[in-house]
Amino acid sequence: MADRAFDTRRLPGATVLALACFVILYIPMVILVANSFNTGKVIGQWEGVSLHWYARALQNDAFLAAARTSLILASLAALIATITATMAALATTRSRGFRGEGTIHIVLNQPIMVPEIVLAIALLIIIAQIKQATGYTGLGYLVIAHSAFCIPFAYMPIRARLEGMDLTLETAAADLYAGRLYTFRKVTLPLLAPGILAGFMLAFVISLDDVVISDFLKSPGQDTLPTYLLGELRRNLTSEIYAISSLLLLISVLIVAGSWLLTRKKT
């Protein structure tokens, strides 16, 4: 009898294990979102449905300042990371077998392989010395740190897009005496645009959700949304935190869903 294709559904207990994982991962999120609509002030005591805590969050100056900082930081970091990742992806997919290719892959993926807290401590040591020498305490340090951390997340969808592209059009453009820059602008870039946009969105949400690097490297008055929520949790847990967390969750889900729609294969 011919061997049947491997199917995880035939493994004993696979369905139960999968369902258990989904419950553990998503039930807490459902509870969080549900409690954000609770009218009452007491956590765990349901008193009715209301948008009161969302309205209160949108009137909270500290929350709005943290949200503004997060959006600026995530936008700049995602932009820098995407540009760098695009150049790296072009170099590693259009120039095969060159010396140092393996080293480049290791450097690009290093932020993923190294524990984030280790990376944060290493950056803290360097940045603390730079702050002391220059006296500059602005947002630039967080932008640089987030950009470096987000590069591999932007690199993956861009490289995947490049590897799936047909080189026929680029070759045809070269045969018609088009220069490399012209070919890139008119042929490669339009075809690569969905991958670049997906990489930007993924880098944006990674930066927006980051708490470890931000908490280690931020200067006073530079709270991002995750560090603001962490500080509020240490002081007092209220339904307003649930509302802010739900808004952050919604933004993250929309961005990741958009990234998936851009990179999925069309049938």
Domains and CATH numbers, the chain: 60-263 (1.10.3720.10)
Residue at token pair 């005496």: 177
Burial code (b: 16+ CB inside 10 Å, e: under 16) for 62-94 equals ebeebbebbbebbbbbbbbbbbbbbebbbebbe
Which residues, given as ranges, of the chain have pLDDT below 70? Answer: 1-9, 44, 96-98, 100-101, 262-267
pLDDT of residue 109: 78
pLDDT of residue 97: 64
Cβ atoms of residues 83 and 264 within 8 Å: no
pLDDT of residue 73: 94
Which residues, 6+ apart, have CB-to-CB distance to 230 below 8 Å?
211, 215
- H/E element holding 85? helix 61-94
Give the whole-angstrom CA distance, residue 223 versus residue 230: 10
Q: What is the pLDDT of residues 52-70, one digit of tens each?
A: 889 988 888 988 999 999 9
pLDDT of residue 83: 94
Burial code (b: 16+ CB inside 10 Å, e: under 16) for 167-188 equals eeebeebeeeebeeeebbeebb
pLDDT of residue 267: 41
